[in-house]
Chain A
Amino acid sequence: EDQVTQSPEALRLQEGESSSLNCSYTVSGLRGLFWYRQDPGKGPEFLFTLYSAGEEKEKERLKATLTKKESFLHITAPKPEDSATYLCAVQANDYKLSFGAGTTVTVRA
């Protein structure tokens, strides 16, 4: 069974304090790893897809990286508007997504 574990569950940062979120996974044949952002009361918003180990993608203050066992979402010099829950999901050979429980990030000004 595919498993996705995100850590930490919650992360409190000062504005400008860079940090990383972890997504570790076990999957039978990784097709892709997806990162989403979710604001309170809203649906997840797509951020990145990573397909192979060594791949990196960036968007503004966010950078996602992928190894054979885990992915990291790096937040550089975060701002209060980066506060959200970040979800990781893996897509296996059956093309279905398995989601982690998420990391809730709070950035204080």
Chain B
Amino acid sequence: DAEITQSPRHKITETGRQVTLACHQTWNHNNMFWYRQDLGHGLRLIHYSYGVQDTNKGEVSDGYSVSRSNTEDLPLTLESAASSQTSVYFCASSASSYNEQFFGPGTRLTVL
């Protein structure tokens, strides 16, 4: 069955370290998204991609970067982790802009 996976599921890191969160989907979807979810807030869009070599900034992109070298993967990099980036991160994908997004299981990141 097609699915979307994220790794690691839990990560603890220190302030200033570079961290990369992986997202892999086997739906063969063109569109992929990264969100963060914090208590009291809805899911907030970090970065998104509409295809290979395409990346775009979302509403909370500062301190994050992504790259899309193939259809299946969209890794999210925190260049220099900050305590404000402690959150739960979700990756999602969709077949097109009109379709629903399917979400991964999430990565809980703690920055000490």
Residues of A participating in the B interface, judged by any CB pair closer than 8 Å: 4, 31-32, 34, 36, 41-46, 49, 87, 89, 95-102
Q: Judge whether B103 and A31 touch: CB under 8 Å.
A: no
Helix, strand, loop or mixed for chain B's interface?
loop
Supposing A95-B97, A96-B58 touch, asked if A43 and B42 sit within 8 A by C-beta, the answer is no
Task: Verify A102–B42 contact, CB threshold 8 A.
Answer: yes
**CB-based contact A97/B45 at 8 Å:** yes
Cβ–Cβ contact B100 & A49, under 8 A: yes
- Which residues of B are interface residues toward A (Cβ below 8 A)? 35, 40-45, 48, 58, 90, 92, 97-98, 100-106
Inter-chain CA distance A87–B92, complex, in Å, is: 15
Contact A43 B105 (CB under 8 A): yes
Query: Which residue of chain A has its CB nearest to the CB of B91?
Result: A43
Q: How far is the CB of B11 from chain A (nearest CB, A)?
A: 15
A-B contact pairs, 24 of them (CB 8 A): A4-B42, A43-B90, A43-B92, A43-B103, A43-B105, A43-B106, A44-B90, A44-B103, A46-B100, A46-B102, A89-B42, A89-B43, A95-B97, A96-B45, A96-B48, A96-B58, A97-B43, A97-B45, A97-B101, A98-B42, A99-B42, A100-B42, A101-B42, A102-B42
**Of all chain A residues, which has the CB nearest B6?**
A43
Please determine whether A101 and B41 come into contact, CB atoms closer than 8 angstroms.
yes
How far does the alpha carbon of A100 sit from the alpha carbon of B40 in the complex, in Å?
Answer: 9
Considering only CB atoms, which chain B residue lies closest to A99 in the complex?
A: B42
Contact status B45-A44, CB under 8 Å:
no
B42 and A42 contacting across the interface, CB-CB below 8 Å: no
Give the distance to chain A from B27, nearest Cβ to Cβ, in Å: 13
Q: Is the CB of A42 within 8 A of B100?
A: no
Q: Is the CB of A42 within 8 A of B45?
A: no
> Provided the pairs A43-B104, A46-B102 are in contact, do residues A99 and B43 lie with their beta carbons within 8 angstroms?
yes
Instruction: Chain A residues near B106: list those with CB within 8 A.
Output: 41-43
State the 7 A-B residue pairs at the shortest beta-carbon distance, nearest first: A99-B42, A43-B103, A95-B97, A99-B43, A46-B100, A44-B103, A101-B42
